[in-house]
Amino acid sequence: MSTSAKIMNCDEYKEAIAADPAYVDDAGHDAACASCAGFKAEVLALDERISSALAIDVPALQMPDLPIMVATEDKVVSLAGRRKQTFAMPTWIGIAAGFALAAIVGVQFLANDGITDQELAAEILAHVDHEPWAMEATDVSVTNERITDVMAANSGTMDRNIGLVSYAQSCIINGRQIPHLVIQTTDGPVTLLLLPEEMVSMPVKLDGRGISGVILPVGDGSIALVSERNFDVDELKERVVNSVEWST
């Protein structure tokens, strides 16, 4: 567990928590900052969810004894003195259940890396609900340097003419650090979550508490747009999709 007495700003603190959920800031930044305290709680909850998914007890698969067979020149025969084996229905049910359990475990491990469209949508809505202050209407833009820092090299690039960016933060979705931006439009603020490694099979509707939106498939990733319920994001979709290019 790392510790530090240095007084940190919000960006430094959130980056430290994203890298190590167990990070402790001796200067007590999270105690004085509601935003950072909420971010830490969200990262810890995600870390617990991943740990729980991995902590699965898998019983040993018991296979029944099979008859030993030997081949002669023209046929296969049972060894002399070997009792012929038959499988009762419960035995086959046990074998099938074992394979089913193995399949379930495989899905659990897959879900930690490649979650379903519905699980991704639920995590995005929970994340946006957790940071309501980011959706405030304002005419104050973050600096270009801040946007550049958040749009890390492994994320991509975005056309700065898309609109006034009032919020830019690195956040955690599905265990990955991604850019979380808020664009100010004439109809109100719109949240953009850029998800370069999260592919969806088709547009996925987002329907949360007082907010709605969509996850759009874009190349080898996706982009989530979230706004207040009375805001129509259709006009913004094309501009957003055309403004983002994933890093190769």
**138 within 8 A of 161, measured Cβ to Cβ:** no
* Residue 200, burial from CB neighbour count under 10 angstroms (0-12, 13-18, 19+): buried
Half-sphere exposure of residue 60: CA atoms within 13 angstroms, side-chain side = 3
**137 within 8 A of 188, measured Cβ to Cβ:** yes
Average pLDDT in the 107-127 region? 72
**179 within 8 A of 170, measured Cβ to Cβ:** yes
Residue 108: what pLDDT? 39
Pairing, β 188-195 against β 221-228? antiparallel
Given a cut of 70, is residue 123 above it in pLDDT? yes
Given a cut of 80, is residue 168 above it in pLDDT? yes
Is pTM beyond 0.85? Reply is no
**Reported confidence tier of residue 148, pLDDT bands at 50, 70, 90:** confident
Q: Tell me the CATH number for domain 114-246.
A: 3.40.1000
Instruction: Specify the range with the lowest mean pLDDT, choosing from 75-79, 129-133, 173-177.
Output: 75-79
Average pLDDT in the 195-212 region? 87
* Residue ranges of domains in the chain: 3-54, 69-112, 114-246
Rounded-to-integer distance, Cα 29 and Cα 13, Å: 8
pLDDT tens for each residue of 3-30 = 445 667 777 777 787 777 778 877 777 7
* Residue 120, burial from CB neighbour count under 10 angstroms (0-12, 13-18, 19+): buried
* Residue 172, burial from CB neighbour count under 10 angstroms (0-12, 13-18, 19+): buried
